[in-house]
Structures are given as C-alpha cells and as structure tokens.
Structure 1
Amino acid sequence: MSKQAKKPKKELTIEQKINRRNFISFASFTVLAGGAYGGWRWLYKSPEEVAGGITGGTRKPLRKALNKTELFFRRVFSDNHLVKTYPKELAVKGARVNSDIGLEAKKKFDPATWKLQVVKKGGEVLQVSLQEIMALPKTEIVYDFKCVEGWDEIQHWAGVKFIDFIKHFKLDEYIKMEYLGMETPDKAYYVGLDMPSAIHPQTLLAYEMSGKPLQLQHGAPLRLIIPVKYGIKNLKRIGTITFSNTRPRDYWAEEGYDYYSGL
C-alpha cells in the first residue's frame, strides 16, 4: 500500500502570526519577570551585613558578589589602564558640586592654616604645606568625571601626581602596603583605596580646577582626583593620609556601596 500523502499545512494568517508571537513574548516575559521577582525576594530576605564593620548597609549575598567583582578587576588592573582624556576646550566651565560632606560648611575654613598630615610608622606625622606640593611638577588631566548617581561631565583638573608626591617625600616603602586611607580635616568624610589605584599614573593631588585655584566647595586647598574610580572616592579637602595592609574605613562602603568603586 502506498503511503497516504500528507496534507499541506495551512498557512497562518498575518493576524495569527502576530498573536502567536505576542503570546511567546508575553510568556517569556512572565517567566523572566517571575524569576527576577523571586531573586529579588530572596535577596530582600537574606541576612544583612553586621553594622559597624568596614562595609555595611546591604545584604550579605550582594556584598559577597561585590567583593568577588573587586577581586576580578584587581587582577586585570594595571598602570596601562588609562581613562580617556579630552582637549581642554571640551571641559565644563563650572564643575558640578554634588556634596559638602567633610567641608565644614557651617564653619569658616582658612586654607592658609591647612597642612597635609601623612601618618608614618610609629605615629610620626609628616606635615606638608600647599606651597611644598605646588613646587612639585604639575600635571593636568581633562577626563569624564563619573558619579554613581548616573551623571558625568568632562572636567579639567591640575595638581601633582600622587606617585610623584610619594617619591619626592621618600615614602616609597609605604606604597608596598595594600591600602591607603584619606580623610577630611574634620574626619566627617573618609575613603579607603587599594594601593594600585592610588599610585596609578592618572591619580592626582589636585589644587586647580579649570585653570584656576581650587574653590572651597570643590575641596580647597587640596583634593583627590582619581579617574579610575567613581566620584565617591574623589575625596575633597584631604586632611590626613594613612597606609595599611587592612582596609581603611570608607564612608559610602559603610552605607552599602561598593568598596572598590572602580571604572
């Protein structure tokens, strides 16, 4: 017996094709949304970090993921990792002011009385004036300053490379340590940095912005500009610098943000 010929499949109408595609899309969205919601519920119910530590303010699984991401980026980080730079004419004329934490907004601050405090071994403190810093070779950078809030703008900064500062004041032995800490004179704002990022060739101790002396609202007389990090690490008005092999405290990491905050 001969096999019975198969009937040709009936061609779907355009409307049926659209309906089928919409059904598949909706079903896929429902499955993905359900998975995302389940993941969010799991994360929301997971244990929180213990308060009072170097990091805090978030759930333990998220912090664990952030720490693993940091390890990955630190393995591939090098001095050859340079941020893109731009011509001066592309820089904004007035850089955005985003925070005044640590700037003693309610008190008068006299830059003339300021000195940078570098804490050395045994508690010895090296005190450096702005004039001493400005006497070192000047470096300028025009780059895209990025904030964790989502905004960015091209800014023009000038100062001394941090690595040049280290070498001039014979602090080479200290950069063999893993971390660097900085805080404002009033100790209200503080950051912790991995040493490779701190001594990166684009990291500056900045005393000028847009070709003019740094203004108080931007961190005068001296602030950190570290292009390989988000803005939260670019500490305004540096008061004290410390070195350690353990993570220094960090203002925003204590509030749930990524400790590394690298780009």
Structure 2
Amino acid sequence: MTTNQNSAPVTPTPAPETPLRPEAEVLAQARRRSRRSFIGLGLAGLAGLGGWKWLISQPDDSGIPHPLRQALDANGRLSQAYFKETRLAPEFARSRAKDPRVNGRIGLAEELDPAAWRLRVQGYGAGKTQEFTLADIQALPKVEMTTELKCIEGWSIVVHWAGARLSDFLARYPLATRSGRPADPLNPPADLAPYVGMQTPDEKYYVGLDIASALHPQTLLCYEMNGAPLTAAHGAPLRLVTPLKYGIKHLKRIGTIAFADTRPKDYWAELGYDWNAGH
C-alpha cells in the first residue's frame, strides 16, 4: 500500500476468485484416477504373485527355496563379520526386567527331577563324557546381567539373568580342547574345538554354536531369572543365555554338551532358519 502526505491510502484490488469446477468434471477426473490406481495395484499384485510363484518354484536348499537360503547365508556372514569377543549386548537397569512369555515347549514335555538332573559333557576328540551337578555350576563365579531377549517373531523383553559363564566352565573343566588346555577366549588354543552343540535331555531340541559365540563373556549357563531359580517352563534347572543371538538359540533345560569339527545340528536351522541366528 502506498501513501503520501496529502492523499488517503490506496487499497489494493482483491484478486478474482478461481471459479468452482463443475461437479461432473470433478467426478469424471476422480473416476479416471481411481481406474489408474486400480490398474496399478492390479499390476503390482500380479508382479508380486509372479515373483512368489518363481520363488517357490526354485530348488530347495536346506529346506527353503535357494534364493531365500542365499539371503539367510548372507545375513549369517554379516553377523559373523560383525561379531567380536569385545562386542557386548546392551545392558539395562534391573528395574526394567520382566518375565518373558513361555515361548516353545519342545524338549520340556517330560517330567524332570532337578535333584537327579546331570549335565553330561562329551570331551572334544576322544575325551570321555563327564557329568556335573547344578551345584558344580553354581560353584563357578556367578555372573548377573540384564539384557534384552529378542525373538525371531519380532518381540523382545528385558530380562535379568544369573549363572556361570560358559567360558569359565570350560576354563575350570577343559573339555573343549584335545590337549586338555583351558579354552581361553582371548588366547584360544590351537586345538580348540570350532563348534559346540547342546541338546535337551530327551534330545528333541538342540542348538549349535560356533566356539567364539560359546566363549563370549555374555554367554551363560543360566540357573536364575529375575532373581529366582528357573521354572520348568523357562528351562530349569539350567538353560543357555546368549544375548547376541535370537531366542531360538537359548536352549532350555540343557542335558548334554558336545564339541565338534563341523556345524552341529540345529533344530530351527533344519526348518530353514539361519544357523547363526545372530543380531
């Protein structure tokens, strides 16, 4: 707006309003857009269906189509490359800990007398099998940690665990080497077994770990959860906890441990999941 000392302000002329479009024209344009969207979605659906049919038509590799197996193997290689003995899973305030849901009862169907339970460990190579009581495990240094239990189903929960490091067990009982040398994770002996397998007492559930994951400082032979002894549903009297792996590796009710030169069998890997199961 412009003014001078001797004249009144000049008010700008408002711009003319855009005329409304006829209703018929608006509806016609909406119909055209709807048809284009419908055709686009239909083509995308057909492409997705064709891709799925192609995928399931591919030869199986360890129980799943080969392209998916390649993707899982790539994830496994990435997980292994990212793994370090010094890389720790995040820990949380103990006040955040909650009881996890009971997820999976395979290997837990039979009644078990905790007093009669024994952990059987097959020494590497020609080593004999030794048996251990829960008291033997509890005599090792007790380690407590509050970490996140992650499930492949997509949920997670913070849990407080207590038990003995598997590395401390194998230092006290050197069953993972042919020579009987302790399994020092910082200075691994040349004859250290590359893999370890674990099974429930009934042998119906089983997992395999590479030895580096087994000797990780957060991998526990766990006998307490959230300040109380394990319940039967959560793996009493002893379970595996390894927080850099998904829950499918956290074997409940450990019955036997054995060492191997090749990858041990793994329940979920046999059904097509990633053997490493790291995150």
Query: TM bucket by the smaller chain?
Result: 0.7 to 0.9
The alignment status of 1:163 with 2:167, answered yes or no, reads yes
Cα separation, 2, equivalents of 1:87 and 1:190:
31
- Equivalent position of 2:218 in the other structure: 202
For 1:34 and 1:197, locate their aligned partners in 2 and report how far apart those are by CA, in whole Å. Answer: 43
Deviations 1:4-30 (A, max 9, x none): xxxxxxxxx9x8x99999999888767
TM-aligned CA deviation for residue 70 of structure 1? 1.1
| Cα distance between partner residues in 2 of 1:237 and 1:134 | 15
Structure 2 residue 130 is matched with structure 1 residue 114:
no
Q: 1:230 to 1:21 in 2, by over 3 A?
A: farther
Matched, 1:101 2:106: yes
Could you say if the C-alpha distance between residues 108 and 76 of structure 1 is closer, same or farther in structure 2, counting changes exceeding 3 Å? closer
What CA deviation, in whole Å up to 9, does each residue of 1:136-161 have, x standing for no partner? Answer: 11001111111111221111110001
3-state DSSP of counterpart to 1:153: strand
TM-aligned CA deviation for residue 215 of structure 1: 1.1
**CA distance 1:172–1:241, shift in 2 (3 Å):** closer
Letter in 2 for 1:214: L
Tell me which of 72, 75, 78 is aligned to 1:69: 75
After superposition, the CA RMSD in angstroms is 2.5
Instruction: Structure 1: state its 5+ residue gaps.
Output: 1-12, 50-55
In the alignment, which of 55, 60, 82 is matched to residue 88 of structure 2?
Answer: 82
Q: Percent identity?
A: 46
Distance in 2, matches of 1:213 and 1:158, equals 9
The two structures have a TM-score, normalised by structure 2, of 0.78
TM-score (norm 1): 0.82
Match of 1:43 among 48, 55, 58: 55
Q: Tell me, which stretches of 5 or more residues in structure 2 are unaligned?
A: 1-20, 184-191
What is the rounded CA distance, in whole Å, between the counterparts of 2:209 and 2:249 in structure 1? 8
Specify whether residues 181 and 172 from structure 1 end up closer, same or farther in structure 2 by C-alpha distance, changes over 3 A only: closer
Give the match's secondary structure for 2:177: helix
- Name the residue aligned to 1:248: 264
- How far does residue 86 in structure 1 lie from its aligned partner after superposition? 0.6
Matched, 1:142 2:146: yes
Distance in 1 between residues matched to 2:37 and 2:194, nearest whole Å: 50
Residue equivalent to 1:53 = none
Q: For residue 234 of structure 1, what is the aligned residue in structure 2?
A: 250
Deviation at 1:38, TM superposition (A): 3.3
Q: State how far apart, in whole Å, the 1-side matches of 2:239 and 2:212 are.
A: 19
Q: Equivalent residue of 2:64, what SS?
A: coil
SS where residue 60 of structure 2 aligns? coil
For these two proteins, the number of residue pairs brought into alignment is 241
In 1, the alpha carbon distance for the partners of 2:44 and 2:216 equals: 41
Pick from 228, 235, 238: which aligns with 1:219?
Answer: 235
Tell me how far apart the structure 2 counterparts of residues 77 and 28 of structure 1 sit (CA, whole Å). Answer: 43
- 2-structure distance, mates of 1:155, 1:132: 24
1:133 aligns with 2:137: yes
1:201 to partner: Cα distance: 1.0
> How far apart in 1 are the matches of 2:121 and 2:89?
28
Alpha-carbon distance, 1:46 to partner: 0.7
1:243 aligns to what SS in structure 2? strand
Q: Deviations over 1:63-112 (max 9, x none)?
A: 122123212221221022211111111001x3311111101x2x421011
In 2: Cα distance, 1:151 partner to 1:229 partner? 14
What amino acid is the match of 1:236? K
Distance 1:21 1:229, change over 3 A: farther
122-131 vs 236-245, which deviates more?
A: 122-131
Q: Deviations over 1:209-262 (max 9, x none)?
A: 111111111111100001011111100010111111211111111112111111
| More helix, by proportion | 1
Amino acid at match of 1:204: L
Change in Cα spacing, 1:61 to 1:116, as seen in structure 2 (3 Å) is same
| Aligned residue identity for 2:249 | K
Structure having the higher Rg: 2
